[in-house]
Each structure stands twice: as C-alpha cells, then as structure tokens.
Amino acid sequence: EDQVTQSPEALRLQEGESSSLNCSYTVSGLRGLFWYRQDPGKGPEFLFTLYSAGEEKEKERLKATLTKKESFLHITAPKPEDSATYLCAVQNDYKLSFGAGTTVTVRA
Amino acid sequence: EAQVTQNPRYLITVTGKKLTVTCSQNMNHEYMSWYRQDPGLGLRQIYYSMNVEVTDKGDVPEGYKVSRKEKRNFPLILESPSPNQTSLYFCASSPYGPDNTYEQYFGPGTRLTVT
C-alpha cells in the first residue's frame, strides 16, 4: 500500500525565516509527486509536479526537490501570505495518495 | 471561468437517507476523482474515473457509489449514509499530463454531516 508521511505537522515561522517541509513516501511505481497548497475553507491548489529523483521546481518563494524516498518543499524568506497547509501526494498508476499536510503559519 | 463546481456546499442529513453530491467541470478534463478530508488523516481517495463510463475504487470506497455518464459530471452517491461518513468532500478534475500524471483542480468542497 502506498504511504505518504509529512513532517512536521505544524510549523510557525517569523517573516523572512526560511525553512523546509518534508514528505516521505513509499510507492510501488511512482508516476509523479505533487505539492498542493490549501487555504482554510478551500480546496487544494496545485503547486508542482516532480517526476524523477534529482528534479527541482521553483515558484516564487517555494522550491520543491525530489529524491527516491522523499521530497522537500523549501520556503525562502516567507511572508504572511505563505501561511497555509501544504499537501504532498504521490501517483501510482491511476491512484493518488495524500499526506496529512503541514500547516505553516508565518508571523509578521 | 475554468472551474470545478460542487453542490450542495453544506448538507446536514439523517442516517439512511439517500443523497447525491454533484460535481461538474468545464475544462473538458478526462480524469475526475472524489476525496474525503478528515482531521489528521488528510485527503483520501474514494473513487476515480479515467474517462466516461470508466471508474475504479480508491482507498475508501465503502458506502459510496459513483457514475460517469458524461465527461463533465461525476456525482457521488451515498445510498444509506452513516455518521462515519460525516466529512469534508472534494471533487477534482485533471487533464492528462506527462506520463499520464494528474495535476488536479479541486472544487470548493462539500461539508456533510450525518446525524
């Protein structure tokens, strides 16, 4: 069975204080690893897809990286508007499995 | 506007009363899926559909039914709801990406309470 574990569960940051979120996964055949952002009361919003180990993608203050066992989402110099829950998911064939998420709070 | 819509957004019902949550997308996406989100458990896939008339079970299909008669619609049916199906439900759709990956667009969610 595919498994996705995210850590930490919650992260409180000062504005400008960079940090990383971890997503560890076990999957029999990885087609892609996804990162989403979810704001309270809303549906998840797609951020990145990573396809193979060594791949990196960036969007504004976010950078996602992938190894054979885990992915990291680096938040550089975060701002209060980066506060959200970040979800990681893996796709095996046609099925997707999500982690429980990391809730990030950025204080001004 | 490209979007996934769900109705109703909020629903309170009683045990055993059949209900349907509708999902519609206007992006001509092939892939659609239903999830439930519970505190501490994250999003769990209920059912997915690769195309019209093609559906398959996700990780938590028990107590749910789906149908895909048209590309744009993917309703979720609870024939006999029970309190353990109280949850936040999301519908999502996706085009086929590289290597048939699914970058999903999510609807706004339906909060269901079964008493």
Per-residue pLDDT tens digits for B9-66: 999 999 999 999 999 999 999 999 999 999 888 899 999 999 998 999 999 999 999 9
- Closest CA–CA distance from residue B89 to any residue of chain A (Å): 9
Arithmetic mean of pLDDT, A48-65: 96
Q: Do B109 and A44 touch (CB under 8 A)?
A: no
Q: Which of residues 35-74 of B touch A (CB under 8 A)?
A: 35, 40-45, 48, 50, 56, 58-59
A49 contact partners, CB below 8 Å, separation of at least 6: A32, A33, A34, A57, B97, B98, B101, B103
CB pairs under 8 A between A and B: 68
d(CA A34, CA A36): 7
Per cent of chain A over pLDDT 70 is 100
Q: What angle do CA A92, A4, A40 make, to 5 degrees?
A: 110
Judged against a pLDDT cut of 80, whether residue A98 lies above it is answered with yes
Residue B71 pLDDT: 95
Q: Of A96, A97, A98, which to mutate for an interface test with B (greatest number of B Cβ within 10 Å)?
A: A96
Enumerate the residues of chain A whose CB falls inside 8 A of the CB of residue B2.
none
The confidence score (pLDDT) of residue A57 equals 97
Q: What is the pLDDT of residue A32?
A: 94
Q: How confident is the model at residue A94 (pLDDT cuts 50, 70, 90)?
A: confident
Answer yes or no: do B101 and A42 touch at CB < 8 A: no
Rounded Cα gap, residues A85 and A44, in angstroms: 9
Taking 80 as the threshold, does the pLDDT of residue B6 lie above it? yes
